[in-house]
Structure 1
């Protein structure tokens, strides 16, 4: 803190913030009541156990200081509000792990504001919609993580929708070993995934997407600006992937985001694939010492019902 902010102030409090499952997130408070946020990318801060993955799935291993740095720069260039980056250390100068100091954009999430005061949430929701349209019209000819594209590693042998299909079927195989209902419905779920995939037409233009953007990943600053967090999963991909998630997470407030034009077949295919993901991920992390295990089990149960309904 002395190196970055000067030695005239003292650090008085360090609070671990809830929600981080792949990195540690801490609020550091100084004796003049100013605050900053510390990110720590360390093995013991990542609660997620390893799992089988699709090799070209751009949403796997979406954690780390390198991804944070390049994604932060891309969002800033696109005019999207993110917490200002104060310091990034990938050389182990301060801790035996990568760390970053970022601006503290406050304690009010858009999710909390929407629940408490929908009228007050209208302006940041509208501004968030503007930001999303800037992201979703920032186009590329390859899908994948920005770091991989910058290294020339994004040439694909197949299309995004086939990646999603394999990802969804892999999640199904994993959860079928954990839940008897999905084991019984396995073949019917496979058939439904293949039916949805078959209705999707080819496309080779991709937009910039956050990957898992919910109102809990947006903070409303004192200036009433929506600021995006958890940006390591930023990638070029079909914007329908983002909007399937946004529709789920924003619910009745989703139309206020004024989305870009979307392919309804691709949207429904991705929505169902995300339902399977929201069974596999929570069941997997619930087998660890994650501190809110029951919340994960409840999330999985809700999505099991959604996965079985169309069958």
Structure 2
């Protein structure tokens, strides 16, 4: 996949800053959009998010209506507003264009690089996230497209999604195929124990420590397009996986939802990376490692 260069983004830089563009560098990450550092003729920098088909590494796929294709300028903007209003720090907008947004370049480190020694930033992250999760809605979904009141309950949505992921995993992973019946039984049993709920918290949607920058001691959320109102246990099942010993448990969470969503997350983190590898995503070893780890996690969830 060819990356954008100075000639492709010089008009964007001129519109955003009124200056000439000296250099462009595509930053690590970004499977659905291009993330580029813009270096101007005076040495200052900005970051451009570019949503074009040429920047999307994901193969063609029949997306589910809620989670599918969680990318794009409009989703970024609605998430930016919702998270800001909830008390989280997000990058300041510099320019909004048709398929491109330019934000401030915060520099700094990713939270994953400072977990072991920047306890102040980590604690502030957990406090900010708690404030985000306390932002409530009576309906779930994207902030700009909440689901109707008669929509299926969130656990039902996740059950169907997880069963679809299980089917896809069985086609690719013989060890999962051999345990298909046990894994489906486990999903259905955990789902059956969940009590109804009528209020949902705002979540980021894919919040690992690689999606948090630390700038001047403040955690800043990035890759925010997946933000929605949902069961916060869905986010916590991902947080405990990604933060490991640095995860901060929350006593008010529903343990039945957490148990169910853990298994659903593991299956998602097998199916998604393996599907991404069908295309030309460059960081292939990392994706394969994610899939392999979550194969083990999913199989370990089976009751013996």
Regarding TM over 0.5, the answer is yes
Instruction: Tell me the TM-score normalized by structure 1.
Output: 0.90
Q: Which residue of 2 aligns with 1:125?
A: 122
Unaligned runs of 5+ in 2: 1-12
1:233 to 226, 236, 242: 226
* Aligned CA-pair RMSD: 1.4
1:273 aligns with 2:264: yes
1:202 aligns with 2:196: yes
Q: Is the 8 A contact 1:215 1:249 kept in 2?
A: yes
SS at match of 1:32: coil
Q: Is the 8 A contact 1:59 1:211 kept in 2?
A: no
Q: Which residue of 1 aligns with 2:75?
A: 67
1:38 aligns with 2:29: no
Q: Which residue of 1 aligns with 2:8?
A: none
Q: CA deviation at 1:294?
A: 2.1
Q: CA deviation at 1:301?
A: 1.2
Q: Is the 8 A contact 1:144 1:154 kept in 2?
A: no
Q: CA deviation at 1:168?
A: 0.4
Report the CA distance shift for 1:5/1:53 in structure 2 as closer, same or farther (over 3 A): closer
1:50-65 superposed matches below 5 A = 50-55=60-65, 58-65=66-73
Q: CA deviation at 1:32?
A: 2.5
Q: Which residue of 2 aligns with 1:146?
A: 143
Once residues 52 and 274 of structure 1 are traced to their aligned partners in structure 2, the CA distance between those partners, rounded to angstroms, is: 19
Instruction: Tell me the TM-score normalized by structure 2.
Output: 0.92
1:84 aligns with 2:92: yes
Q: CA deviation at 1:156?
A: 3.8
1:149-168 superposed matches below 5 A = 149=146, 154-168=148-162
Once residues 89 and 154 of structure 1 are traced to their aligned partners in structure 2, the CA distance between those partners, rounded to angstroms, is: 31
1:15 aligns with 2:25: yes
**Runs of at least 4 residues of structure 1 off by over 4 A?**
none
Cα displacement string for residues 106-131 of structure 1 (whole angstroms, at most 9, x for unaligned residues)? 141000112xxx23x21111111121
Once residues 127 and 288 of structure 2 are traced to their aligned partners in structure 1, the CA distance between those partners, rounded to angstroms, is: 35
- Compare 128-137 and 153-162 and name the one that shifted more: 153-162
Q: Is the 8 A contact 1:133 1:260 kept in 2?
A: no
1:212 to 202, 206, 211: 206
SS at match of 1:269: helix
Q: CA deviation at 1:47?
A: 0.9
Unaligned runs of 5+ in 1: 91-97
Q: Which residue of 1 aligns with 2:5?
A: none
Q: Is the 8 A contact 2:15 2:95 kept in 1?
A: no
Q: Is the 8 A contact 1:210 1:231 kept in 2?
A: yes
Q: Is the 8 A contact 1:17 1:26 kept in 2?
A: yes
Once residues 56 and 150 of structure 2 are traced to their aligned partners in structure 1, the CA distance between those partners, rounded to angstroms, is: 29
Q: Which residue of 2 aligns with 1:308?
A: 299
